[in-house]
Amino acid sequence: MSENIILTGDRPTGNLHIGHYVGSLKQRVLLQNKGDYDKMYIMIADTQALTDNAGNPQKIRNNVLEVMLDYLSVGLEPEKVTFFVQSEIKALPEIMAYYMNLVTLSRLLRNPTIKSEIKFRGFDNENKGIPVGFANYPISQASDITAFKANLIPVGEDQLPMIEQTREIVRSFNSTYKNEVLVEPKAYIPENKICSRLPGTDGNAKMSKSLNNCIYLCDDKETVKAKIRNMYTDPNHIKVTDPGNVEGNVVFTYLDAFSTMEHFEKYLPEYKNLDELKEHYKRGGLGDVKIKNFLNMIMEELLQPIRERRKYYEKRLPEVFKILQKGTIEANKVAESTLAEIKEVIGINYFDDEKFLKEQEEKYNN
Ligand code: TRP
């Protein structure tokens, strides 16, 4: 029977936000609580974060424990999940080195996520150029996943090309070296498409720290309220009586992602469901303040317990640090053992291979 191994990770470039929550964290907590797995790993991808932050390591350093606090605050449990730091796993770059020979340069640059990130970061203009390490990060990510033989990867939709490329590398490796050591992973993305790519509060397609359009899991009540108050809606919906547009209206997009029937019963019983609310908005006669207040109550219901848990762990930072350190030691052993298998199937495990010397000696024995 093959094992069920879950692995995913985040770059520690800032605190995690509600886009991370609906896109992936929520799925992780559900998977954790279902318990239908043999192992669950969550990696803080500091090495990957450096691929476009080489000049700003302090930012990465400052966010490692922040991301750990975010993990614990959403309810991920150290008894059920192994948390680790990417840069400490010595086998990862070595495994990557062997994969680099199986991928062409043009294939790397055709990766849709890499393509759009190159644009987003301006690597294609201002004479900046594309760092080699950056273009290479899909291979590095394939190493992260396969080192743990993970088969299920809970990620947002933007990561699908990374998983696809990992699958290609696995197939190529297994067929080149005629073995079955590596496992092809599958992405696990939310059913609700909107959750997979939540837009920013300003309507920009991407929620991103650099665009300053995020609601962070650690934002306090007043901050969240202010961000929702300033949220992009329909610029032509000026008077309450005006008919309004729900497409591209961020409040409605967030309601699509976060609201449930229970929320309507509890906070807005005059509407049966979101469709009814949308209809009223489109007809006219429904003001932005009302829908924003509704969204705010939903957000508070979600964020309040997250903030409480965070406060608990913020006061116990040495404990949090220990959790990460312990997980990293464990992860190192697992990756080391996969590396040994990889070297064995390639046939470069000279000192662990009893056949090696005999085989070479034979050349001179007759
Ligand atoms: N690329 C992911 C992100 O930007 C982070 C990541 C690194 C990752 N290695 C991974 C995710 C392995 C899943 C599996 O969010």
Cα→Cα distances 84→97, 151, 316, 326, Å: 21, 18, 18, 8
Q: Can you give the pLDDT at residue 196?
A: 87
What residue type is 108 in one-letter code?
L
Separation of CA 6 and ligand 1 centre (Å):
13
Ligand 1 binding site (Cβ under 6 Å of any ligand atom): 7-11, 43, 45, 48, 141, 144-145, 153, 155, 159
Separation of CA 179 and ligand 1 centre (Å):
26
Cβ proximity of 306 and 15 under 8 Å: no
| Per-residue pLDDT of the chain in tens (366 residues, 90 and over written 9) | 578 999 999 999 999 999 999 999 999 999 999 999 999 999 999 999 999 899 999 999 999 999 999 999 999 999 999 999 999 999 999 999 999 999 999 999 999 999 999 988 888 876 688 999 999 999 999 999 999 999 999 998 889 999 999 999 999 999 999 999 999 999 999 988 889 889 999 999 989 888 999 999 999 999 999 999 999 999 999 999 999 999 999 999 999 999 999 999 999 999 999 999 999 999 999 999 999 999 999 999 999 999 999 999 999 999 999 999 999 999 999 999 999 999 999 999 999 999 999 999 999 987
Bridge partners, 39 (sequence order): 5
pTM for this entry = 0.95
Which of 21, 121, 144 is the pocket-test mutation for ligand 1 (most atoms within 8 Å of CB)? Answer: 144
Residue nearest (by alpha carbon) to ligand 1 atom 15: 10
What does DSSP assign to residue 13? S
Separation of CA 189 and ligand 1 centre (Å):
13
Residue with tokens 């080195």: 97
Closest CA to 73 of 305, 300, 258, 302: 305
Q: Sheet of 186-188: strands edge to edge?
A: 82-85, 39-44, 5-10, 152-154, 186-188
Q: Compute φ and ψ for 178, nearest 5 degrees.
A: 45, 65
Cβ proximity of 93 and 143 under 8 Å: yes
Separation of CA 244 and ligand 1 centre (Å):
38
CA distance 2 to 119: 40
Cα→Cα distances 93→178, 228, 336, Å: 22, 42, 11
H/E stretch holding 82 reads strand 82-85
Closest CA to 251 of 309, 315, 186, 200: 200
Residue with tokens 């088969």: 151
Residue nearest (by alpha carbon) to ligand 1 atom 9: 141
Separation of CA 349 and ligand 1 centre (Å):
29
Which of 5, 7, 11, 89 is the pocket-test mutation for ligand 1 (most atoms within 8 Å of CB)? Answer: 11
